[in-house]
Homo-oligomer: A and B are copies of this chain.
């Protein structure tokens, strides 16, 4: 099985296959004399595992952990569960953050008549005078962006 076939069988692009190998998520694939990568049915299983994990938004780092546990017959399910639970917690945090943004913005949009006139509560809020505090404060606390979010959650986030 060459890379194109493994890709088709697993739903992981050839590009990503090479990338996962490069970063050590996958072991280095065997090669033909000509240098073509060769994959087995077992490799395809691993790839499907990875694909499923990515679809659930897990980061590559966590998938590395899970693949390790998966292949360890001595693993304890508690370790697996912990990884999953950590990810759920991050998803929850991100959902809360996005929901707060959404709600604030929806409120502002609702307050905007949306006609030809220039007057607009959205811009008024952004101007940040803070003169209408009832429309502020929702996301104002410094939950702000930072490595945590970018490194932790992503996958589904950068995804598209």
Contact = CB atoms under 8 A, between A and B. Distances in A.
B158 A53 contact: no
Given A72-B118, A149-B156, 9 more contacts: A49-B126, A49-B127, A55-B101, A55-B140, A66-B126, A75-B120, A91-B105, A149-B157, A157-B157
A5 to B, nearest CB: 18
Copy tally for this chain in the complex stands at 2
A interface, over-half SS: helix
Q: Which size bracket describes the interface of A in this complex?
A: 35 or more
A151 B55 CA distance: 19
A18 to B, nearest CB: 18
22 contacts: A45-B127, A49-B128, A53-B126, A56-B101, A56-B139, A66-B123, A70-B123, A70-B126, A77-B115, A77-B117, A77-B122, A78-B116, A80-B112, A84-B112, A84-B122, A91-B99, A95-B99, A98-B98, A98-B157, A144-B160, A145-B158, A150-B158
